[in-house]
Copies of this chain bind each other. A is one copy, B any other.
Amino acid sequence: MSKRRTDGKPTIADVAQRAGVGAITVSRALRDPSLVSDALREKIDAAVRELGYVPNLAARALASTRSDVVGVLVPSLTQHIFADVLRGIYDGIGKTRLHIQVGNTRYDLNEEERLLAELLRHKPAGLIVSGIDQSPTARRMLENANCPVIQVMDLSDDPVNKIIGFSHHNAGKAMTQHLIEVGYRRIGFLSGWMNSRSKGRLSGYVEALEEAGLYDPQLANAAGDLGALALRGSWDKHQYSTPAMGRELLAELWRRVPDLDAVFCNNDVLALGVLFECNARGISVPQDFGIAGFNDEDFMEAASPPLSSVRTHRWKVGHDAVIALRRQLDGEPDDEKVIDVGFDVIKRASTDRGGVLGRAGDANVGTPKPMAVGGGTV
């Protein structure tokens, strides 16, 4: 009775024996075929095929003290925005040997620490984390991670290593300025759960109003504790928004600020709810009320009327993060610590109070490719 505790699968030694070479040659042929002569490489490839050899990644990771795992920490799996970032990440990984391991922090700093600790046990090849508000402990872990760390979806003067994102403050400010420009005067800010990026948007909103002399503490206060209201409600466990929440928040805000004439929603899902609420109340958008969202998800353009939003480049952020990571892993220089991918204010009918677009209904402003849908009535 042997003491071997193998699972019977062929090992690199089996391949080596069959190919009549040393194990290390097989190892090299597998990792970088150019390191091995053509003749041997062919023999090895044949042996691999005949044996159905599958490399054991744990052994590789142990021997080389580094794995092919890229750890990704996102605060939410449900929000479309992070799904897009993830898609960019996966697309950036492509068919490389790298593997993604996603952790869902749920906007919980303790959970983030725990997940980070778990990830570090894998000796990851790289880490991609959302935002900049890690706990001091987490920050230290990232700094000692011994691998490239990319922060995404925000900006900071002091990234752990590299950060790719955009200014939420500027984005919030820009959309608010648009609302002011087209003539709205009592502009509310609608938000449920507030994370640090939402707060950036809010501060941009406040700044734009202040600069225009339209700042009203009452309105700002109302905006401020609507988040608290959201948390008090049935959404206390959800850290994501729903259209139903948008409807309810709008109703509440209207109660507090009866002369409200527009809202800037912290995200598109809330904006959709606001549109539904306006529909239900028979309020015409944009004439009587302006609606703007944030992120520019697919449905914003297709809504009736099309909804204005701030387009953010989530896919690109995820994709570029991986590209940067791979560059660093390949030892290429990468000195740009802070990458600002920007944003675009997409002006559509829902904020076209000035009538720049005419009152034709579904026209789009600022959208590169207007849809080809059948207009008019049947």
Among residues of B, the one whose C-beta sits closest to the C-beta of A62 is: B58
Chain A, residues 30-63, CB within 8 Å of chain B (1/0): the string is 0000000000000000000000001111110110
Residues on the B chain within 8 Å of A375, using CB: 280
A167 proximal to B (CB < 8 A): no
Residues on the B chain within 8 Å of A279, using CB: 279, 304
Whether A299 contacts B254 in the complex (CB less than 8 A), given A62-B62, A281-B377, comes out as no
Q: How large is the interface on A (under 10, 10 to 19, 20 to 34, 35 or more residues)?
A: 35 or more
Bound CA–CA A302/B304 (angstroms) = 15
Residues on the B chain within 8 Å of A372, using CB: 248
A214 proximal to B (CB < 8 A): no
In the complex, the answer to whether B373 meets A280 with C-beta atoms within 8 Å is yes
Bound CA–CA A25/B77 (angstroms) = 39
Residues on the B chain within 8 Å of A58, using CB: 57-59, 61-62, 67, 122-123
A251 proximal to B (CB < 8 A): yes
A283 proximal to B (CB < 8 A): yes
CB distance from A246 to the nearest CB of B (A): 7
Number of this chain's copies in the complex: 2
Segment from A125-133, A268-276, A322-330 that makes contact with B: A268-276
Chain A, residues 134-151, CB within 8 Å of chain B (1/0): the string is 000000000000100000
Query: Per a CB cutoff under 8 Å, which of B120, B362, B377 touches A54?
Result: B120
Residues on the B chain within 8 Å of A56, using CB: 62, 121, 123
CB distance from A362 to the nearest CB of B (A): 6
Bound CA–CA A114/B96 (angstroms) = 11
A247 proximal to B (CB < 8 A): yes
Whether A254 contacts B378 in the complex (CB less than 8 A), given A56-B62, A121-B55, A123-B56, comes out as yes
A99 proximal to B (CB < 8 A): yes
Bound CA–CA A114/B93 (angstroms) = 14
Chain A, residues 279-309, CB within 8 Å of chain B (1/0): the string is 1111100000000000000110111100000
CB distance from A311 to the nearest CB of B (A): 15
Residues on the B chain within 8 Å of A301, using CB: 244
In the complex, the answer to whether B303 meets A243 with C-beta atoms within 8 Å is yes
Bound CA–CA A304/B278 (angstroms) = 9
A163 proximal to B (CB < 8 A): no
Segment from A14-22, A83-91, A182-190, A332-340 that makes contact with B: A83-91
In the complex, the answer to whether B298 meets A242 with C-beta atoms within 8 Å is yes
Chain A, residues 363-376, CB within 8 Å of chain B (1/0): the string is 00000000111111
Segment from A100-108, A170-178, A198-206 that makes contact with B: A100-108
Chain A, residues 69-100, CB within 8 Å of chain B (1/0): the string is 00000000110100110110010000100011
A361 proximal to B (CB < 8 A): yes
In the complex, the answer to whether B361 meets A280 with C-beta atoms within 8 Å is yes
Chosen A-B contacts, 24 in total, with CB atoms closer than 8 Å, are: A56-B62, A77-B90, A80-B80, A90-B104, A95-B114, A99-B101, A99-B122, A101-B101, A102-B102, A242-B298, A242-B299, A243-B299, A243-B302, A243-B303, A244-B302, A255-B374, A272-B302, A279-B304, A280-B361, A280-B362, A280-B375, A281-B374, A281-B376, A281-B378
Which 6 A-B residue pairs are closest in the complex by CB-CB distance? A58-B61, A243-B302, A251-B374, A242-B298, A244-B302, A279-B304
